[in-house]
Structure 1
Amino acid sequence: MTETILHAESGRTTGSAATRRLRAEGKIPGVVYGHGMDPVSISVDRRELRQAVSGGAGMNTIIDLTVDGTVYPSLIKDVQRHPVRLNIAHIDFIQVNLNEEIVVSVPIRLDGEAKAVSNGGGLVDLSMNELEVATTPRNIPDEIIVDIADMDMDTVIRVEDLNIPAGAKATADPEVPVVTVLTMRTPVLDAEEAAAAESADAGAADDSAAAGDDADS
Protein backbone atom coordinates (compact mmCIF):
# COMPACT_ATOMS: atom_id res chain seq x y z
CA MET A 1 0.00 0.00 0.00
CA THR A 2 1.32 3.43 -0.93
CA GLU A 3 0.25 6.84 0.34
CA THR A 4 1.14 10.24 -1.02
CA ILE A 5 0.08 13.88 -0.74
CA LEU A 6 -1.50 15.67 -3.67
CA HIS A 7 -2.53 19.33 -3.49
CA ALA A 8 -5.68 20.41 -5.31
CA GLU A 9 -7.32 23.75 -5.95
CA SER A 10 -11.05 24.19 -5.40
CA GLY A 11 -13.48 26.73 -6.80
CA ARG A 12 -12.59 26.08 -10.42
CA THR A 13 -14.91 27.58 -13.02
CA THR A 14 -16.86 24.96 -14.92
CA GLY A 15 -17.60 25.04 -18.64
CA SER A 16 -15.71 24.12 -21.80
CA ALA A 17 -13.72 27.35 -22.14
CA ALA A 18 -12.55 27.32 -18.52
CA THR A 19 -11.67 23.63 -18.77
CA ARG A 20 -9.55 24.26 -21.88
CA ARG A 21 -7.68 27.03 -20.09
CA LEU A 22 -6.98 24.72 -17.15
CA ARG A 23 -5.59 22.03 -19.40
CA ALA A 24 -3.46 24.57 -21.24
CA GLU A 25 -1.94 25.48 -17.85
CA GLY A 26 -1.02 21.84 -17.22
CA LYS A 27 -3.89 21.16 -14.85
CA ILE A 28 -6.57 18.48 -14.84
CA PRO A 29 -10.16 19.26 -13.84
CA GLY A 30 -11.73 16.83 -11.41
CA VAL A 31 -14.08 16.24 -8.52
CA VAL A 32 -13.83 14.65 -5.07
CA TYR A 33 -16.85 13.06 -3.40
CA GLY A 34 -17.89 10.28 -1.03
CA HIS A 35 -18.71 9.61 2.63
CA GLY A 36 -21.59 12.05 2.82
CA MET A 37 -19.63 15.09 1.65
CA ASP A 38 -20.93 17.38 -1.05
CA PRO A 39 -18.94 16.91 -4.28
CA VAL A 40 -16.16 19.50 -4.62
CA SER A 41 -14.93 20.61 -8.05
CA ILE A 42 -11.15 20.74 -8.06
CA SER A 43 -8.13 20.86 -10.32
CA VAL A 44 -4.77 19.11 -9.86
CA ASP A 45 -1.40 19.66 -11.45
CA ARG A 46 -0.82 17.10 -14.21
CA ARG A 47 2.85 16.60 -13.33
CA GLU A 48 2.14 16.20 -9.61
CA LEU A 49 -0.61 13.67 -10.33
CA ARG A 50 1.73 11.64 -12.52
CA GLN A 51 4.30 11.63 -9.75
CA ALA A 52 1.67 10.66 -7.14
CA VAL A 53 0.69 7.49 -9.01
CA SER A 54 4.17 6.56 -10.24
CA GLY A 55 4.77 4.05 -7.45
CA GLY A 56 4.02 0.35 -7.45
CA ALA A 57 0.40 0.82 -6.40
CA GLY A 58 -0.39 2.95 -9.45
CA MET A 59 -4.05 3.95 -9.52
CA ASN A 60 -4.59 2.16 -6.18
CA THR A 61 -2.36 4.65 -4.38
CA ILE A 62 -4.03 6.19 -1.33
CA ILE A 63 -3.83 9.91 -1.91
CA ASP A 64 -4.04 12.48 0.86
CA LEU A 65 -5.89 14.94 -1.34
CA THR A 66 -5.39 18.33 0.24
CA VAL A 67 -8.05 20.90 -0.69
CA ASP A 68 -7.99 24.32 0.98
CA GLY A 69 -6.28 22.85 4.04
CA THR A 70 -8.65 19.91 4.36
CA VAL A 71 -7.21 16.44 3.77
CA TYR A 72 -9.40 13.84 2.07
CA PRO A 73 -7.92 10.31 2.09
CA SER A 74 -8.88 9.31 -1.44
CA LEU A 75 -8.55 6.81 -4.22
CA ILE A 76 -8.83 7.53 -7.91
CA LYS A 77 -12.29 6.34 -8.86
CA ASP A 78 -12.38 7.14 -12.56
CA VAL A 79 -10.35 8.84 -15.27
CA GLN A 80 -11.57 10.17 -18.60
CA ARG A 81 -9.02 10.34 -21.39
CA HIS A 82 -8.78 12.34 -24.59
CA PRO A 83 -9.94 10.06 -27.44
CA VAL A 84 -6.85 10.74 -29.57
CA ARG A 85 -4.00 11.88 -27.31
CA LEU A 86 -5.15 9.54 -24.47
CA ASN A 87 -3.95 11.94 -21.79
CA ILE A 88 -6.20 12.39 -18.73
CA ALA A 89 -8.94 14.92 -19.42
CA HIS A 90 -10.89 14.60 -16.14
CA ILE A 91 -10.41 12.71 -12.91
CA ASP A 92 -12.72 11.57 -10.10
CA PHE A 93 -11.47 11.04 -6.55
CA ILE A 94 -13.52 9.19 -3.94
CA GLN A 95 -12.96 9.87 -0.27
CA VAL A 96 -12.46 6.65 1.71
CA ASN A 97 -12.61 5.61 5.33
CA LEU A 98 -9.25 4.01 6.05
CA ASN A 99 -10.90 1.50 8.38
CA GLU A 100 -13.73 0.54 6.04
CA GLU A 101 -13.55 -2.33 3.53
CA ILE A 102 -13.68 -1.46 -0.17
CA VAL A 103 -13.38 -3.43 -3.42
CA VAL A 104 -10.52 -2.60 -5.79
CA SER A 105 -8.83 -4.21 -8.80
CA VAL A 106 -5.23 -5.30 -8.26
CA PRO A 107 -2.88 -6.18 -11.13
CA ILE A 108 -1.62 -9.75 -11.50
CA ARG A 109 2.04 -10.41 -12.38
CA LEU A 110 3.55 -13.72 -13.46
CA ASP A 111 6.88 -14.66 -11.95
CA GLY A 112 9.34 -17.36 -12.99
CA GLU A 113 9.71 -19.51 -16.10
CA ALA A 114 7.51 -22.51 -16.80
CA LYS A 115 10.18 -24.69 -18.41
CA ALA A 116 8.00 -27.81 -18.46
CA VAL A 117 5.38 -25.91 -20.45
CA SER A 118 7.93 -24.49 -22.90
CA ASN A 119 9.53 -27.91 -23.41
CA GLY A 120 6.10 -29.44 -24.01
CA GLY A 121 5.28 -26.98 -26.77
CA GLY A 122 2.81 -25.04 -24.63
CA LEU A 123 2.29 -21.40 -23.81
CA VAL A 124 1.39 -19.95 -20.42
CA ASP A 125 -1.79 -17.91 -20.76
CA LEU A 126 -2.84 -15.28 -18.19
CA SER A 127 -6.63 -15.34 -18.26
CA MET A 128 -7.12 -12.17 -16.19
CA ASN A 129 -4.82 -9.19 -15.81
CA GLU A 130 -6.45 -7.91 -12.63
CA LEU A 131 -8.16 -9.45 -9.62
CA GLU A 132 -10.88 -7.78 -7.58
CA VAL A 133 -10.19 -7.92 -3.87
CA ALA A 134 -12.06 -6.69 -0.80
CA THR A 135 -9.81 -4.96 1.71
CA THR A 136 -9.33 -1.83 3.76
CA PRO A 137 -7.46 0.97 1.98
CA ARG A 138 -4.28 0.55 3.99
CA ASN A 139 -4.07 -3.14 3.03
CA ILE A 140 -4.47 -2.78 -0.74
CA PRO A 141 -1.72 -4.93 -2.35
CA ASP A 142 0.39 -3.27 -5.03
CA GLU A 143 0.13 -6.48 -7.08
CA ILE A 144 -0.57 -10.19 -6.84
CA ILE A 145 2.38 -12.33 -7.88
CA VAL A 146 1.79 -15.77 -9.40
CA ASP A 147 4.76 -18.16 -9.42
CA ILE A 148 4.58 -20.24 -12.62
CA ALA A 149 7.93 -22.04 -12.32
CA ASP A 150 6.33 -25.39 -11.38
CA MET A 151 3.62 -25.32 -14.03
CA ASP A 152 3.38 -28.24 -16.49
CA MET A 153 1.11 -28.91 -19.45
CA ASP A 154 -1.81 -29.97 -17.23
CA THR A 155 -1.58 -27.16 -14.67
CA VAL A 156 -4.42 -24.72 -14.10
CA ILE A 157 -3.95 -22.00 -11.48
CA ARG A 158 -7.28 -20.82 -10.10
CA VAL A 159 -8.32 -17.94 -7.86
CA GLU A 160 -8.24 -20.26 -4.84
CA ASP A 161 -4.56 -21.05 -5.55
CA LEU A 162 -3.41 -17.44 -5.45
CA ASN A 163 -1.19 -16.14 -2.67
CA ILE A 164 -3.18 -13.05 -1.69
CA PRO A 165 -1.53 -10.82 0.93
CA ALA A 166 -3.01 -10.77 4.43
CA GLY A 167 -5.84 -8.34 4.90
CA ALA A 168 -7.29 -8.83 1.43
CA LYS A 169 -9.58 -11.48 -0.04
CA ALA A 170 -10.68 -12.21 -3.59
CA THR A 171 -14.29 -11.51 -4.54
CA ALA A 172 -14.27 -13.83 -7.57
CA ASP A 173 -15.40 -17.47 -7.64
CA PRO A 174 -12.53 -19.60 -6.24
CA GLU A 175 -12.81 -21.96 -9.23
CA VAL A 176 -12.22 -19.27 -11.88
CA PRO A 177 -9.01 -19.99 -13.87
CA VAL A 178 -6.32 -17.33 -13.65
CA VAL A 179 -3.44 -18.99 -15.49
CA THR A 180 -3.81 -21.83 -18.00
CA VAL A 181 -1.69 -23.55 -20.65
CA LEU A 182 -2.32 -23.23 -24.36
CA THR A 183 -1.15 -26.07 -26.61
CA MET A 184 0.78 -24.67 -29.54
CA ARG A 185 0.71 -26.22 -33.01
CA THR A 186 3.96 -27.87 -34.09
CA PRO A 187 5.40 -28.60 -37.55
CA VAL A 188 5.09 -32.33 -36.85
CA LEU A 189 1.40 -32.01 -35.99
CA ASP A 190 0.77 -29.81 -39.02
CA ALA A 191 2.48 -32.37 -41.28
CA GLU A 192 0.48 -35.24 -39.80
CA GLU A 193 -2.81 -33.38 -40.26
CA ALA A 194 -1.87 -32.40 -43.82
CA ALA A 195 -1.02 -36.01 -44.66
CA ALA A 196 -4.31 -37.23 -43.15
CA ALA A 197 -6.27 -34.65 -45.13
CA GLU A 198 -4.43 -35.59 -48.32
CA SER A 199 -5.18 -39.26 -47.72
CA ALA A 200 -8.84 -38.51 -47.10
CA ASP A 201 -9.04 -36.47 -50.32
CA ALA A 202 -7.40 -39.28 -52.28
CA GLY A 203 -9.85 -41.83 -50.81
CA ALA A 204 -12.80 -39.63 -51.72
CA ALA A 205 -11.49 -39.28 -55.28
CA ASP A 206 -11.12 -43.09 -55.62
CA ASP A 207 -14.66 -43.62 -54.34
CA SER A 208 -15.98 -41.06 -56.81
CA ALA A 209 -14.15 -42.71 -59.69
CA ALA A 210 -15.44 -46.15 -58.69
CA ALA A 211 -18.98 -44.84 -58.53
CA GLY A 212 -18.57 -43.41 -62.03
CA ASP A 213 -17.34 -46.76 -63.41
CA ASP A 214 -20.33 -48.58 -61.87
CA ALA A 215 -22.71 -46.07 -63.45
CA ASP A 216 -21.15 -46.54 -66.92
CA SER A 217 -21.45 -50.31 -66.67
Structure 2
Amino acid sequence: MPDIVLAAVPRAQAGRARQLRRQGFVPAILYGHEQSPVTLAVEARAFGSILRTVSSSTLVTLTVEGNEARRVLIQEVQRDPLSGEPMHIDFHQVNLKEKIRAKVPVRGTGVAAAVKDLGGVLVQSIAEVDVEALPQNLPQEIIMDLAKLATFEDRITVADLPMPPNVELHTRPDEVVAVVSPPRTEEEIAALTTAVEEKVTEVKTEAEEKKAAEESKKAEEGAPEGEKKAEKKAEKK
Protein backbone atom coordinates (compact mmCIF):
# COMPACT_ATOMS: atom_id res chain seq x y z
CA MET A 1 0.00 0.00 0.00
CA PRO A 2 1.35 3.47 -0.86
CA ASP A 3 2.22 5.84 1.97
CA ILE A 4 -0.91 7.51 3.36
CA VAL A 5 -0.42 11.19 4.19
CA LEU A 6 -2.78 13.40 6.18
CA ALA A 7 -2.28 17.10 6.89
CA ALA A 8 -3.14 18.73 10.23
CA VAL A 9 -2.92 22.19 11.77
CA PRO A 10 -2.44 23.19 15.43
CA ARG A 11 -5.84 23.62 17.09
CA ALA A 12 -4.95 27.03 18.55
CA GLN A 13 -4.80 28.40 15.01
CA ALA A 14 -8.11 26.88 13.98
CA GLY A 15 -10.51 27.74 16.82
CA ARG A 16 -12.90 25.92 19.14
CA ALA A 17 -14.28 22.43 18.46
CA ARG A 18 -17.80 23.51 17.45
CA GLN A 19 -16.44 26.29 15.27
CA LEU A 20 -13.98 23.85 13.69
CA ARG A 21 -16.73 21.46 12.66
CA ARG A 22 -18.72 24.31 11.08
CA GLN A 23 -15.61 25.20 9.08
CA GLY A 24 -15.20 21.63 7.80
CA PHE A 25 -12.53 20.42 10.24
CA VAL A 26 -12.41 17.60 12.79
CA PRO A 27 -10.79 18.24 16.21
CA ALA A 28 -7.96 15.83 17.05
CA ILE A 29 -5.25 15.07 19.57
CA LEU A 30 -1.75 13.70 19.00
CA TYR A 31 0.14 11.77 21.68
CA GLY A 32 2.47 8.80 22.05
CA HIS A 33 6.19 8.13 21.64
CA GLU A 34 8.25 11.16 22.74
CA GLN A 35 5.18 13.30 22.15
CA SER A 36 3.35 15.37 24.75
CA PRO A 37 -0.38 15.61 23.99
CA VAL A 38 -1.08 18.36 21.47
CA THR A 39 -4.45 19.40 20.03
CA LEU A 40 -4.86 19.51 16.26
CA ALA A 41 -7.46 19.83 13.52
CA VAL A 42 -7.72 17.94 10.22
CA GLU A 43 -9.89 18.63 7.19
CA ALA A 44 -13.05 16.52 7.48
CA ARG A 45 -13.28 15.66 3.78
CA ALA A 46 -9.64 14.54 3.55
CA PHE A 47 -9.93 12.46 6.71
CA GLY A 48 -13.16 10.86 5.49
CA SER A 49 -11.46 9.76 2.26
CA ILE A 50 -8.59 8.18 4.19
CA LEU A 51 -10.86 6.53 6.75
CA ARG A 52 -12.60 4.52 4.03
CA THR A 53 -9.33 2.82 3.07
CA VAL A 54 -7.53 2.26 6.40
CA SER A 55 -7.98 0.46 9.71
CA SER A 56 -6.73 1.12 13.23
CA SER A 57 -3.57 -0.84 12.40
CA THR A 58 -2.68 1.19 9.28
CA LEU A 59 0.40 3.41 9.57
CA VAL A 60 -0.32 7.01 8.54
CA THR A 61 2.08 9.90 7.93
CA LEU A 62 0.72 12.95 9.73
CA THR A 63 2.12 16.30 8.66
CA VAL A 64 1.64 19.09 11.17
CA GLU A 65 2.06 22.67 9.98
CA GLY A 66 5.49 23.97 11.00
CA ASN A 67 6.74 20.55 12.22
CA GLU A 68 8.27 17.41 10.77
CA ALA A 69 6.04 14.53 9.65
CA ARG A 70 4.95 11.99 12.28
CA ARG A 71 4.19 8.27 11.86
CA VAL A 72 0.92 7.58 13.63
CA LEU A 73 -1.93 5.12 14.04
CA ILE A 74 -5.55 6.26 14.13
CA GLN A 75 -6.13 5.14 17.71
CA GLU A 76 -9.77 6.18 18.06
CA VAL A 77 -12.48 7.98 16.13
CA GLN A 78 -15.46 9.35 18.05
CA ARG A 79 -18.57 9.65 15.89
CA ASP A 80 -21.83 11.53 16.07
CA PRO A 81 -24.43 8.96 17.24
CA LEU A 82 -26.98 10.14 14.67
CA SER A 83 -25.02 11.09 11.55
CA GLY A 84 -22.00 8.83 12.08
CA GLU A 85 -19.71 11.71 11.12
CA PRO A 86 -16.29 11.87 12.88
CA MET A 87 -16.40 14.24 15.86
CA HIS A 88 -12.91 13.73 17.32
CA ILE A 89 -9.75 11.79 16.41
CA ASP A 90 -6.96 10.31 18.54
CA PHE A 91 -3.60 9.94 16.75
CA HIS A 92 -1.01 7.72 18.43
CA GLN A 93 2.59 8.51 17.46
CA VAL A 94 4.69 5.33 17.27
CA ASN A 95 8.35 4.36 17.39
CA LEU A 96 9.20 2.38 14.26
CA LYS A 97 11.85 0.45 16.23
CA GLU A 98 9.49 -0.75 18.97
CA LYS A 99 6.84 -3.45 18.65
CA ILE A 100 3.30 -2.49 19.58
CA ARG A 101 0.05 -4.38 20.06
CA ALA A 102 -2.93 -3.55 17.90
CA LYS A 103 -6.35 -4.83 16.88
CA VAL A 104 -6.50 -5.98 13.25
CA PRO A 105 -9.87 -6.54 11.51
CA VAL A 106 -10.71 -9.93 10.01
CA ARG A 107 -12.49 -9.99 6.65
CA GLY A 108 -13.88 -12.96 4.76
CA THR A 109 -13.52 -13.56 1.02
CA GLY A 110 -14.80 -16.28 -1.25
CA VAL A 111 -18.04 -18.23 -1.07
CA ALA A 112 -19.04 -20.65 1.69
CA ALA A 113 -20.68 -23.70 0.10
CA ALA A 114 -22.69 -24.21 3.29
CA VAL A 115 -24.33 -20.86 2.57
CA LYS A 116 -24.64 -21.10 -1.21
CA ASP A 117 -25.69 -24.74 -1.53
CA LEU A 118 -27.20 -25.57 1.87
CA GLY A 119 -28.95 -22.28 2.62
CA GLY A 120 -27.08 -21.66 5.86
CA VAL A 121 -26.30 -18.35 7.54
CA LEU A 122 -22.72 -17.14 7.93
CA VAL A 123 -21.90 -16.20 11.53
CA GLN A 124 -18.64 -14.32 12.19
CA SER A 125 -18.04 -14.31 15.94
CA ILE A 126 -14.70 -12.48 15.92
CA ALA A 127 -14.35 -9.19 14.03
CA GLU A 128 -10.69 -8.54 14.90
CA VAL A 129 -7.62 -10.22 16.38
CA ASP A 130 -4.96 -8.94 18.76
CA VAL A 131 -1.43 -8.90 17.27
CA GLU A 132 2.02 -7.52 18.05
CA ALA A 133 4.59 -6.28 15.54
CA LEU A 134 6.69 -3.33 14.52
CA PRO A 135 4.32 -0.55 13.37
CA GLN A 136 5.43 -0.84 9.75
CA ASN A 137 4.74 -4.61 9.79
CA LEU A 138 1.19 -4.40 11.11
CA PRO A 139 -1.28 -5.81 8.58
CA GLN A 140 -4.20 -3.61 7.63
CA GLU A 141 -6.53 -6.61 7.76
CA ILE A 142 -6.46 -10.41 7.97
CA ILE A 143 -8.23 -12.31 5.19
CA MET A 144 -10.03 -15.60 5.87
CA ASP A 145 -11.09 -17.99 3.11
CA LEU A 146 -14.82 -18.69 3.43
CA ALA A 147 -14.53 -21.57 0.95
CA LYS A 148 -13.38 -23.68 3.92
CA LEU A 149 -16.97 -23.64 5.21
CA ALA A 150 -18.46 -26.40 3.08
CA THR A 151 -20.69 -27.98 5.77
CA PHE A 152 -22.39 -26.91 8.98
CA GLU A 153 -19.70 -28.78 10.95
CA ASP A 154 -16.85 -26.79 9.41
CA ARG A 155 -15.40 -23.81 11.25
CA ILE A 156 -12.61 -21.30 10.86
CA THR A 157 -10.53 -20.71 13.98
CA VAL A 158 -7.89 -18.09 14.74
CA ALA A 159 -5.25 -20.75 14.04
CA ASP A 160 -6.56 -20.99 10.45
CA LEU A 161 -5.98 -17.30 9.72
CA PRO A 162 -2.97 -16.55 7.49
CA MET A 163 -0.61 -14.42 9.59
CA PRO A 164 2.06 -12.30 7.85
CA PRO A 165 5.70 -12.86 8.83
CA ASN A 166 7.06 -10.92 11.80
CA VAL A 167 3.57 -10.64 13.30
CA GLU A 168 2.87 -12.30 16.66
CA LEU A 169 -0.69 -13.36 17.43
CA HIS A 170 -2.10 -12.78 20.92
CA THR A 171 -5.67 -13.99 20.40
CA ARG A 172 -6.21 -17.61 21.45
CA PRO A 173 -5.68 -19.86 18.40
CA ASP A 174 -8.63 -22.12 19.27
CA GLU A 175 -11.19 -19.30 19.22
CA VAL A 176 -13.80 -19.72 16.50
CA VAL A 177 -13.86 -16.90 13.95
CA ALA A 178 -16.66 -18.05 11.65
CA VAL A 179 -19.17 -20.86 11.16
CA VAL A 180 -22.30 -21.42 9.09
CA SER A 181 -25.54 -22.03 11.00
CA PRO A 182 -28.23 -24.27 9.48
CA PRO A 183 -31.38 -22.50 8.24
CA ARG A 184 -34.35 -22.48 10.64
CA THR A 185 -36.98 -25.18 10.15
CA GLU A 186 -40.65 -24.28 9.65
CA GLU A 187 -41.36 -25.50 13.21
CA GLU A 188 -38.65 -23.21 14.64
CA ILE A 189 -39.96 -20.22 12.67
CA ALA A 190 -43.53 -20.94 13.84
CA ALA A 191 -42.39 -21.27 17.48
CA LEU A 192 -40.43 -18.02 17.21
CA THR A 193 -43.42 -16.21 15.69
CA THR A 194 -45.70 -17.51 18.47
CA ALA A 195 -43.24 -16.39 21.16
CA VAL A 196 -43.06 -12.90 19.65
CA GLU A 197 -46.86 -12.62 19.40
CA GLU A 198 -47.26 -13.75 23.04
CA LYS A 199 -44.71 -11.18 24.16
CA VAL A 200 -46.48 -8.42 22.23
CA THR A 201 -49.82 -9.43 23.79
CA GLU A 202 -48.24 -9.47 27.26
CA VAL A 203 -46.77 -6.00 26.81
CA LYS A 204 -50.06 -4.69 25.42
CA THR A 205 -52.00 -6.13 28.39
CA GLU A 206 -49.59 -4.59 30.90
CA ALA A 207 -49.91 -1.21 29.17
CA GLU A 208 -53.72 -1.39 29.23
CA GLU A 209 -53.76 -2.36 32.92
CA LYS A 210 -51.41 0.49 33.76
CA LYS A 211 -53.55 2.95 31.81
CA ALA A 212 -56.73 1.76 33.55
CA ALA A 213 -55.08 2.12 36.97
CA GLU A 214 -53.95 5.66 36.15
CA GLU A 215 -57.44 6.64 34.93
CA SER A 216 -58.99 5.16 38.09
CA LYS A 217 -56.57 7.09 40.27
CA LYS A 218 -57.32 10.34 38.41
CA ALA A 219 -61.07 9.76 38.77
CA GLU A 220 -60.70 9.13 42.48
CA GLU A 221 -58.60 12.24 42.97
CA GLY A 222 -61.13 14.33 41.07
CA ALA A 223 -64.22 13.03 42.94
CA PRO A 224 -65.99 15.39 45.42
CA GLU A 225 -65.13 14.96 49.10
CA GLY A 226 -68.61 13.70 49.93
CA GLU A 227 -68.38 10.89 47.38
CA LYS A 228 -64.99 9.80 48.76
CA LYS A 229 -66.38 9.59 52.32
CA ALA A 230 -69.38 7.59 51.10
CA GLU A 231 -67.09 5.17 49.28
CA LYS A 232 -64.99 4.67 52.42
CA LYS A 233 -68.14 3.98 54.52
CA ALA A 234 -69.31 1.47 51.93
CA GLU A 235 -65.94 -0.27 52.04
CA LYS A 236 -66.17 -0.56 55.89
CA LYS A 237 -69.60 -2.18 55.64
TM-score, normalising length: structure 1: 0.76
AA partner of residue 4 (structure 1)? I
Equivalent position of 1:171 in the other structure: 170
Any unmatched runs of 5+ in structure 2? 192-237
- 2:55 and 2:105 in contact (8 A); partners too: no
The answer on 1:106 being equivalent to 2:104 is: yes
Q: How does 1:194-209 map to 2 (within 5 A)?
A: none
The structure 2 residue matched to 1:61, chosen from 58, 61, 66, is 58
**Distance apart, 1:13 and its partner CA:** 6.7
Equivalent position of 1:18 in the other structure: 16
Equivalent position of 2:46 in the other structure: 48
The structure that is helix-richer by fraction is 2
CA distance in 1, matches of 2:103, 2:18: 31
| 1:104 counterpart SS class | strand
- 1:2 and 1:62 in contact (8 A); partners too: no
- 1:12 and 1:43 in contact (8 A); partners too: no
Any unmatched runs of 5+ in structure 1? 195-217
Comparing both chains, which one has the higher relative contact order based on Cα–Cα distances under 8 Å and sequence gaps of 6 or more? 1
**Distance apart, 1:142 and its partner CA:** 2.3
- 1:121 and 1:186 in contact (8 A); partners too: no
Identity across the alignment (%): 35
CA distance in 2, matches of 1:64, 1:117: 41
CA distance in 2, matches of 1:119, 1:18: 56
Cα-to-partner distance string for 1:123-174 (whole Å, 9 max, x where unaligned): 3321112222212221222221111213222112111111122222321111
CA distance in 2, matches of 1:105, 1:52: 18
CA distance in 2, matches of 1:11, 1:25: 13
**Distance apart, 1:119 and its partner CA:** 3.5
Equivalent position of 1:70 in the other structure: 68
